[in-house]
Amino acid sequence: MLRQQRNKQHQFFASAALTVLATLFATFVLSCAQEDKPAPVPRARRAGTGTAQTVAKPEINPAMVVAVIETAKGTIEFEFLAAEAPETSKNFIKNAQVMYYKGEKFNRAEELLIQAGSRLAAGDTLPIENGSQEMSRGVVAMAKEEGASVSYASEFFICRGDAILDSDYTIFGSITSGMEVVDSINVGDAITNITIRDKE
């Protein structure tokens, strides 16, 4: 008799638990079956907004900056001869800013000069800007074909000595520090980068 009562109690509790679980499940199913609310519609932009604008970078004045040539052997710095070669100076600064010379190797290293920049488009040229500066130790100039009336727009050289060249080369810079690095450069040495900084 006692055993039957216990069995009935177990059945009652089991039945009640099943009823509760069924109710919870039904509630869950009904909540899931409700219609989804439509996603919010993005608002249209007001006229005149969201348009990309290009902000022009201010042009760098070559007279106010210094070029820094970084190599594994040290750093070479030169100032621009802005009054004598303004367009060539601006062109060199532009090349440096877009990192044209990064990783470029010196392709020429002779007693009188070192040269780099041949990786760039040799077809691009600049007009020659003749100034009063002599072709002497420490000057920076643009390379060109012998007898040509234009300079390459990207290939430059630095004089280690008083180079005997015709006068039709654009000399646009003068070394201010690192001449010992210039003297140590060999063919294949790389330019880590060329940056432009303000004069101190």
Q: What pLDDT shows up at residue 53?
A: 46
pLDDT at position 184, please?
Answer: 98
Return the pLDDT at 133.
85
Burial of 178 (C-beta count, 10 Å sphere; 0-12/13-18/19+): buried
32-67: pLDDT as tens digits = 555 444 433 333 333 444 444 444 556 889 999 999
- Distances from the Cα of 9 to the Cαs of 14, 19, 180, in angstroms? 8, 15, 102
Average pLDDT over residues 8-20: 57
Q: Residue 20 pLDDT > 60, yes or no?
A: no
**What's the pLDDT tens digit per position in 121-177?**
656 889 999 888 888 999 999 999 888 889 999 999 999 998 666 668 999 999 999
Can you give the pTM of this predicted structure? Answer: 0.69
* β-bridge partners, 129: none
- What does the pLDDT read at residue 132? 85
